Chain A
């Protein structure tokens, strides 16, 4: 399949309004961090299909957001930065030994900071809300038929992102509404994972006035920078409620 021809046809037919020539380059495409696409001699820093003990982990993050702001317009912004989370002890399924297929794993977001530039919005910074419970839960993926064994797990990331938009002169957020991004993974931490939203979220200023919309968000987990094993950590109640 000739991707460039197909993409050009999309533009020519007006199917991809706002997508210009530069957006057709692979640099702006979200298809997974390059480490996930392998290559000769590639060895992963993570054991696939395997549980590991609790740890503090930091990794590179790329986030692409599609945002509309009243008075400024709509744009797709590519952001890069870092994420840090505290991964808890895995929990075995009821009546089952602790193993990859049955276990549930949660992680608490400690920090997420990504930055990018937009011709419409100026500099854009996206961060998490440390005062709120945020994190991810990895659980067995439902099998399509009884008796099937699924090698993958479903991952749901729950965040309260804050969007600092230079040309708006303020920070907007989704208020009390948690943003959920989902993906399928085969290792933890999920290097190479691409998680995506499946709905829009209204964006509010600090007074609660709606100023725009988060139309879509797509996040790539990139390179693992640090992995620091820690003593056994249980899931805080507040986080358990958010990722339930």
Chain B
């Protein structure tokens, strides 16, 4: 993925489809003790790097286009301009994915090749289930199924 590859508008429908088909089944398998934390991470990373990051770059570029941002030093909060609506609407998708990546990383650090039943930090398993659910709802609200 290079900068020139990511000049299209953010395609949240494609992202949502990939999340449903590539990520949701794996998260379910993880919670059902069928795969380890390392296997979860191995399955998540191609989606994170090859599907989500191009999307994230397109959100960044959409933001730059509508706000005339260069990414260099700028002052003050974003202006309440209707043209900012699309990238800002999609920005929660970026934050949620990045937070989820760190959660999967710490689960892999703790559990490695073990499954969820070995956890000593069960609250993060609860976080995991809630984040998957919330992310799925968010993507569905932005890209309803036909």
Contacts and interface: CB of A to CB of B under 8 A. Distances in A.
Contacts of A100: 71-72
B9 to A, nearest CB: 15
A1 B80 CA distance: 35
A151 B88 contact: no
Interface of A: 1, 3, 6-7, 9-10, 13-19, 23-24, 26, 28-32, 36-38, 42-53, 64, 66, 76, 90, 97-101, 144-145, 147-152, 182-186, 192-199, 215-216, 218, 229
A50 B95 contact: no
What's the dominant secondary structure at chain A's contact region? loop
Interface of B: 1-3, 6, 24, 27-28, 31-33, 45, 49, 53, 56-57, 59-60, 63-64, 67, 69-75, 77-78, 80, 84, 87-89, 91-92, 94-96, 98-99, 101-103, 105-106, 109-110, 116-117, 119-127, 129-134, 136, 138
Contact of B84 (A18, A43, A64): A43
Given A3-B130, A216-B124, A196 B103 contact: yes
| Residue of B1, B71, B120, B124 with most partner-chain A CB within 10 A | B71
A30 B70 CA distance: 33
Top 3 A-B residue pairs of the complex, sorted by shortest distance between their CB atoms? A38-B92, A100-B71, A16-B122
Contacts of A23: 123, 126
B126 A19 contact: yes
A16 B126 contact: yes
Given A31-B131, A36-B99, A38-B88, 16 more contacts: A1-B136, A3-B130, A31-B134, A32-B131, A36-B92, A43-B88, A49-B71, A76-B123, A144-B49, A145-B49, A149-B2, A149-B57, A184-B99, A198-B109, A215-B121, A216-B123
B88 A51 contact: no
B59 to A, nearest CB: 8
A150 B123 contact: no
